[in-house]
Each structure stands twice: as C-alpha cells, then as structure tokens.
C-alpha cells in the first residue's frame, strides 16, 4: 500500500462519525502520527524487516512520548513523525520491548496535539465497537469491532497471553491506535491476520497488542530503554505450526539454533523431554527452563529420524543495535 496519505482512504461508510461519540473525534485522531524510520543495512533486523519502515505512532504523553509497534523502530537510527497538519517532527528511539511488541519514541520538537488517554484493554469485550485509527484523521479511521481476545503465538518466539483481534482490517495497521467508544487507547496495531470465527468462517482482521501490558514495564523502558526483568532464552529458530506439527521454517543467521546445527525442515517433538504440540506450549516450556543463556534440549524429527540437540540460548537483544540514549 502506498505510504502517501492522499492516495488512499477508508470509504466514508466505514469511518467513525464524530456525532456518535462524547469525545472530540478529530482532536483525538490528531494524536496519531505517521512514523518513518531508517535502519542501518548491517542491523540484525534489516534483512527481514527492511531498512526503511513506515507505519503509525500514538502520542501518549504531553511531553512528546509516542507509542508504536516495536518492529517499526527496532534498531532505527533515524525516526520522523508526521502530524495531520503536515508537520515533520524528528524523534529518537526510547525503547523497544520484544516481549510485548511495543516501541517508544520521543519527539524532539513540541507537539501541540493532546495525548490519547490510556484505557483498560482487559475490560474490553468481544463485540465491542472500536475505532482503528491510522495517521490522517477521519479519512484513515475505521469503524471496527472486537472479534476475539485470545492467546497469540508468533513464529519469531513471541507470545501474548491475550491479544485483541479486530475486524474488518485496517489497511495501514502497523502502529495504528485502537480506540474505545470513549476515545481511550486500548492497544496498538501489530498484524494483519486471517482467523476462523465461531461459525467456522474465515475472517480478515488485525491483531492488536493490548495496552494493559505497557504499564508494568513503562518505567523501565523510559529509564533503561528495555525491561529490567531477566531476559528470556532465545533460540533464533522460526518455528511454525503446520498440520499439527511444529516445523522449523527458518533460522536466524549465526543464531543459537543455527550454531547448534538445527536445520530448516526439522520437526520439534519435545523440549527438555516434554512433548509439545503447539507453538505456545513450546515457547512456555523453553522459557520455563531459565533465563537467557540456559541450555535448551530439543528432540527433533529430521528426515524420518529422531535426533537430540542442545542449544545454548542467548539474549536476542545482544544481536541488535541498541537505541542511542539522548
């Protein structure tokens, strides 16, 4: 999709109507910014995520703190924000937290828009009407609803106990603001997903990271650029569920799994002797073994034969460029 906001818009029938809300819709939408970042070519994430990334960010504090989805700003050395008024504002990366998926950037010039108040994502329920808002005001705001709240496991060793799933999908979901009917922030857009609803119908939508998981780590992110909780063991194996099996679909170059001779196409049968049948169970078992650096024994099926490997796990952040603190 084009990143030029003048080249696309949400159909008028699918946009929220200002008169339907007690809050000032236009004022709230002015707190959603376009975000552009540039990443060094030698960055760990450059090959997968690219060196130029575009999405959205949401002002959450009057001092210019902007919340976005982490993959947009991971390892970024340059960040720009674009307001609905067309103002280009330089920013710097404050923090990236892989466990939640959140990223924070700080505007380096004054922002006049008021911040969006944080809501309570836990209290949001299935069927609740919501607004999925990208930069660009009402033309880029979508009326949607919460289709599900459930666990989400990602092949990049990512797990949310309860993600929010909305439908219909927003065309520019990355870093978009999920707002409730009071104009409060419920979460940040992360992914386009296709899911099966309770009627066995395939539904397109977005996966949203819930706002409630920000507060427990916010102070750490602002002070240190990352959570101070012990880091989880990272293997660097991109594992996907397929036909009831856990298949290694790819490997991080020079990552722990590749160094331990794990191979693309291997089927993961067990972690530390315990059978695992889905990605969430596999990740939880790995993380239960200890902190980053712990040995992770895997039982694999390779070319019809069972093989055991032991992976010296690592902290993924050691492979990534850290934010330059200002």
User: 172-231, pLDDT tens digit by residue?
Assistant: 999 999 999 999 999 999 999 997 666 667 889 999 999 999 999 999 999 999 999 999
CA distance 292 to 111: 39
pLDDT value at residue 2: 42
CA distance 145 to 183: 14
CA distance 28 to 183: 7
pLDDT value at residue 202: 84
Q: Find out if CATH 3.30.420.40 is the number for domain 121-216.
A: no
Q: What CATH number does domain 16-115 carry, 2.40.50.140, 3.40.630.10, 3.40.50.920, 2.40.10.10?
A: 2.40.10.10
Per residue in 47-84, pLDDT (tens digit) is 999 999 999 999 999 999 999 999 999 999 999 999 99
Q: Do domains 121-216 and 237-319 have the same CATH topology?
A: no
pLDDT value at residue 218: 98
Confidence band, pLDDT 50/70/90 cuts, at residue 323: confident
Buried b (16+ CB within 10 A) or exposed e, 106-129: bbeeebebebbebbebeebeeebe
Is pLDDT at 263 greater than 70 in this prediction? yes
Is pLDDT at 7 greater than 90 in this prediction? no
Residue 229 in tokens? 């909780």
Per residue in 108-140, pLDDT (tens digit) is 999 999 999 999 999 999 999 999 999 999 999
Q: What CATH number does domain 237-319 carry, 2.60.40.10, 1.10.10.60, 2.60.120.10, 2.30.42.10?
A: 2.30.42.10
Residues 105 and 93 sit within 8 Å (Cβ to Cβ): yes
Q: What is the DSSP string of 150-179?
A: EEEEETTTEEEEEEEEEESPPTT-TTPEEE
pLDDT value at residue 1: 38
Residues 271 and 285 sit within 8 Å (Cβ to Cβ): yes
For the chain, the structural domain boundaries read 16-115, 121-216, 237-319
- Interval 272-286 mean pLDDT: 98
């Amino acid at each position: 999709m084009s990143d030029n906001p003048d080249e696309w818009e949400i159909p008028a029938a699918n946009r929220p109507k200002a008169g339907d809300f007690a809050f000032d819709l236009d004022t709230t939408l002015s707190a959603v910014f376009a975000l552009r970042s540039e990443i060094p070519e030698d960055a760990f994430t450059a090959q997968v995520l690219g060196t130029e990334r575009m999405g959205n960010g949401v002002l959450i504090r009057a001092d210019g703190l902007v919340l976005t989805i982490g993959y947009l700003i991971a390892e970024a050395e340059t960040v720009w924000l674009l307001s609905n008024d067309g103002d280009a504002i330089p920013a710097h990366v404050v923090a990236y937290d892989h466990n939640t998926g959140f990223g924070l950037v700080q505007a380096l010039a004054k922002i006049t828009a008021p911040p969006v108040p944080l809501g309570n994502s836990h209290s949001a329920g299935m069927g609740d009407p919501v607004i999925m808002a990208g930069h660009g005001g009402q033309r880029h705001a979508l009326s949607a609803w919460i289709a599900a709240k459930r666990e989400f496991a990602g092949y990049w060793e990512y797990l949310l106990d309860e993600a929010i799933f909305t439908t219909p999908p927003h065309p520019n979901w990355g870093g978009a603001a999920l707002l409730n009917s009071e104009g409060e922030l419920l979460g940040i857009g992360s992914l386009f997903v296709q899911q099966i609803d309770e009627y066995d119908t395939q539904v397109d939508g977005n996966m949203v990271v819930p706002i409630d998981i920000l507060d427990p780590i916010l102070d750490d992110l602002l002070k240190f650029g990352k959570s101070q909780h012990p880091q989880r063991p990272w293997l660097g194996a991109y594992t996907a569920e397929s036909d009831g099996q856990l298949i290694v679909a790819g490997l991080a170059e020079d990552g722990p799994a590749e160094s331990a001779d794990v191979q693309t196409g291997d089927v993961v049968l067990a972690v530390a002797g315990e059978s695992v049948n889905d990605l969430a169970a596999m990740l939880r078992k790995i993380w239960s073994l200890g902190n980053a650096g712990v040995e992770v024994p895997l039982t694999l099926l390779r070319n019809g034969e069972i093989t055991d490997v032991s992976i010296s796990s690592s902290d993924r952040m050691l492979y990534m460029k850290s934010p330059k603190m200002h």
